[in-house]
Amino acid sequence: MAFIRRRAKADDVPVSSFSDIAFLLIIFFILVTSLEQFAGFKAALPAGEQSTQEAEEEMPTVKMHDGRITMNEDTVTIEQLHERLKAMNLAERETDEERIVIIEATGRVEYQVYFEVMAAISHAGGVIAIIKEGD
Amino acid sequence: MRMKKRRRNAVMVPVASMGDIAFLLIIFFMLCSNFAKEAGLQIKPARAFDLDALQESNISVSIDETGDIYLQGILMEDVEVVEWGIKALLEGRTEDLEKVVMFKCDREIDKSIYEPVLSAISEAGGIIAAIGEEAGTRDN
């Protein structure tokens, strides 16, 4: 018996809408992508460590109280703080303990002031240690 | 005199490769994109001089202008939840670069809100990358 060979029809996959789908996906990615450039500083705060009163007295301390900044009991502006921290050559000190700068905020202190102080310490190469009110 | 009307040939724009180009663009965006987790949050960033350019991290904590705390763009009930959440996210991460937590806070927020959050991040083992704005770049 002779079989008739059927030629399989070449079925075309419809691809005409592929580019439309692709462009929709591109629009989605463009909308949800964050192209922001971030500026700031990194600060590794020593976690959960208790220091002695004597050790604290030796370390430079920056206090903030109701928007006023003091360093080792002298009232300073943020520019003066930059200069004083720079003069301490914190970045050249060998250990992290030697680089610690204590910050203490009391009263109402907005994040703007806190951020500027942390940025100044971080820029000078210091390690920030936070003293919470009531500690 | 009778003018002859010339029939113009229909110009065909080759569009066969459009789909390929589009998919290449998709692959590019998929590889390069970081999804904006906090797109809807109202945060006025703090400003300072001498800020460094920072790489975006996978973990982010934000405090908006109302004092609400967000971890990965999700509203958190309190600081303890933030600490547990960061601990969970940092689990298994050993490199310092992987432990970076991006911290954004509205500049007018009081320390009673942001200070416990900063402590929670460090207690959870995170390295804080405080995000702000270079001073003098914008006037508002």
3-state secondary structure chain A: CCCCCCCCCCCCCCCCCHHHHHHHHHHHHHHHECCCCEEEEEECCCCCCCCCHHHHHHCCEEEEECCEEEECCEEECHHHHHHHHHHCCHHHCCCHHHHEEEEEEECCCEHHHHHHHHHHHHHCCCEEEEECCCC
- Residues of chain A contacting B106 with CB distance shorter than 8 Å: 111
What was the ipTM of the complex prediction?
0.72
Mean pLDDT over B20-29 rounds to 84
What are the C-alpha distances in Å from B5 to residues A23, B1, B10, B136?
40, 13, 15, 66
Between B41 and B15, residue with greater pLDDT: B41
Residues of chain A with pLDDT > 90, as a percent, come to: 8
How deeply is A72 buried, as exposed, middle or buried, from its count of CB atoms within 10 A (0-12, 13-18, 19+)? Answer: exposed
Mean per-residue pLDDT, A129-134:
75
CA B70, CA B78: separation in Å to the nearest integer?
Answer: 10
- Alpha carbon distance A41, A54 (integer Å): 29
Cβ within 8 Å, pair A30-B29: yes
Q: pLDDT tens, B77-112?
A: 889 999 999 999 999 888 888 889 999 999 999 988
For residue B5, the distance in angstroms to the closest alpha carbon of chain A comes to: 35
A38-52, A112-126, B74-88: which range is least confident on average? A38-52
Within an 8 Å CB–CB cutoff, is residue A120 touching chain B? yes
- The reply to whether residue A30 touches residue B115, judged by beta carbons under 8 angstroms, is no
pLDDT attached to residue B27: 86
* Pairwise CB contact (< 8 Å): B46 & A115: yes
**What is the reported pLDDT for B39?**
67
Q: Give per-residue pLDDT as tens, A46-92.
A: 665 555 555 556 788 899 988 789 988 888 998 899 888 888 888 88
What average pLDDT does the segment A123-129 reach?
87
What are the structural domain ranges in chain A? 54-131
Left (φ > 0), alpha (ψ -120 to 50) or beta: where does A45 sit?
A: beta
Are B129 and A40 an interchain contact pair (Cβ–Cβ within 8 Å)? yes
Percent of chain A past pLDDT 70, that is, above it, reads 79
Share of chain B above pLDDT 90, in %: 31
| CA distances in angstroms from A56 to B16, B22, B120, B128, listed in the order given | 72, 61, 22, 23
Taking the CB of residue A37, how many other CB atoms lie within 10 A of it? Answer: 8
Domain B47-134 has CATH 2.120.10: no
A3 Cα to chain B: minimum distance (Å): 40
User: What value does the mean pLDDT take over residues A22-35?
Assistant: 80
Asked if A22 is an interface residue toward chain B (Cβ–Cβ < 8 A), one would say: yes
Length of chain B: 140
In this model, does residue B32 exceed pLDDT 80?
A: no
User: Considering chain A, what is the average pLDDT of its residues?
Assistant: 80
Q: What is the pLDDT of residue B85?
A: 94
